[in-house]
Amino acid sequence: MEMLQGVMEFQKNLAKDHAQVVPISVFVAVLCLCVVVGHLLEENRWVNESITAIILGCLAGGVILAVSKGNSSHILTFNEELFFIYLLPPIIFNAGFQVKKKQFFQNFLTIMLFGVVGVFISASIITSGSWWLFPKVGFAGLNARDYLAIGTIFSSTDTVCTLQVLHQDETPLLYSLVFGEGVVNDATSVVLFNAIQKIDVTRLSALTPLNVIRDFLYLFLTSTALGITSGLLTALVLKTLCFGRHSTIREITLMVLMAYLSYMLAELFELSGILTVFFCGILMSHYAWHNVTHSSRITTKHVFAMMSFIAETFIFLYVGMDALDIEKWKMSKLNMGTSLGICSTLILLISVARAAFVFPLSALSNYMNRAHSERGSKITFKHMIIIWWAGLMRGAVSIALAFEQFTFYGVTLDPINATMITTTIIVVLFSTVVFGLLTKPLINYLLPHPTTTNDIIRERRYDNAREDMTLPLLSLEESATTNILRAKESLSMLMEMPVYTIHSYWRKFDDAYMRPFFGGPHPVNEQSPA
């Protein structure tokens, strides 16, 4: 008994000391290093935050590999739960919280074209392309479900890299499109991936794509509704209870917890947590954020950004470390040539698939917005190239989906799955590092001179003028005739440029009903966390 207890206590101490403390310490230390190095390289022409993290991760992996005498390079088993439950929610919530809502919604249709339709096109091309080409480079053994999954896995983009180079004030349209597509793309990939998991691959029919689209739409709408509800609920609670009276800490805590709760509830009801938490973020920054004290506003803005920053760096660090995982390399049992073949095929497919929707959909968007193409909302050919390039990088979502598809709780079961995991990691590494390094030079080449300040101011003025033109549409002091005339006018405007008109009606409704009820800035001095 005494003996047994002794042994158990020893095991307990051993487990306690090594199972958690060592990996956490190493990870936190390398994260600190990332922060410092990222700061020092801020003005570097080539490198960005993601590349820094990946390279530092590789170095750390190398050191661990050396210390453990070639046994293992990674000290923390990646599982997609860690990613989907703890790392992804802060990233996506922060995206919603900091998004410039006006620009996002003004370009809503174009963003949706790229982010939703684009993913469908890209996933189909990559699926059929890999199905056709993989056996030709000597890699067989995947089933239909795997190919479908591959299409989605490699359709999720990582635009962080490009966003660090673009400037919101210099090229507002481009920034808003790349940013918006990035977020919608993440959500679409995950939702599509889950919809594909439900397909009964043994009974594929012409109706299967329709079923996928139906599932997708259902998930999209319910998840959005849940996100909006929880955002509004938070705003209402904060407004009604005036937490700031007693403690600002409670306000901040409630915002953080409600954001997380919305994500977890969505996962609980098997909806898309990403969409939910994104819309929750938008609603919170639009209403709830204005119901808290000044110091809580500053704090929440920075807290969400910090959590997102830590989560992103953590993921890239992990990818870097995992790249040196000997086990998976050994297990995949493929020669260099085949591996290279698979990776090149995938990178080629990614580029082609992205080109196949960016250029046509940009043209479509230009056609839809032809009524006010003079406003600078036309996507030029150079812009198209940048949008295409911005979406070539693959990142955390790809890795997470690949782990979900090809591992069992982070453990690879057979050579084929191991190959797919290593392939995904190589594609992510290659696209982030190689494409990433070329991003700054490319954009500086395509957009050589930043728009002069005068231009920006003129554009903004124009923007305001247009808004003034559409804003008084519903004023009540005018005669009935004018109203009917105006109604006709606004109807034709609705046909011509639907998004603008809807946006302007929404703002009226917002100012008249939503903001007085849920809280928000006074219409005159608008401010938002972004």
Nearest distance from residue 142's CB to its own copies, in Å? 13
Position 463: which residue type?
A: D
Residue closer to its own copies (CB basis): 240 or 464? 240
Which residues make up the interface to its own copies (CB under 8 A)?
Answer: 8, 12, 16-17, 20-22, 24-25, 28-29, 31-32, 35-36, 38-40, 42, 81, 85, 237, 241, 243, 246-250, 252-254, 256-258, 260-261, 264-265, 267-268, 270, 295-296, 298-299, 302-303, 305-306, 309-310, 408-409
Position 243: which residue type?
A: F
Residue closer to its own copies (CB basis): 80 or 181? 80
Q: Where are the beta strands (DSSP E) in 270-336?
A: none
Q: For residues 157 and 391, is the Cβ–Cβ distance under 8 A?
A: yes
Residue closer to its own copies (CB basis): 153 or 349? 153
Closest CA to 470 of 443, 442, 433, 496: 496
Q: How far is CA 230 from the centre of its chain?
A: 20
Distance CA 313, CA 319 (A): 10
Nearest distance from residue 202's CB to its own copies, in Å? 9
The two three-digit tokens of residue 367, written as one number? 């056609």
Distance CA 12, CA 382 (A): 61
Nearest distance from residue 57's CB to its own copies, in Å? 16
Nearest distance from residue 292's CB to its own copies, in Å? 11
Distance CA 86, CA 83 (A): 6
Residue closer to its own copies (CB basis): 39 or 136? 39
Nearest distance from residue 343's CB to its own copies, in Å? 25
What angle in degrees, to the nearest 10, is found between the helix axes of 172-197 and 118-133? 60
Nearest distance from residue 463's CB to its own copies, in Å? 28
Nearest distance from residue 473's CB to its own copies, in Å? 39
Residue closer to its own copies (CB basis): 72 or 248? 248
Closest CA to 98 of 322, 372, 292, 302: 302
Q: CA of 311: how far to CAs of 27, 327, 396, 439, in Å? A: 12, 26, 10, 23
Residue linked to tokens 């849920």 = 518
Position 293: which residue type?
A: T
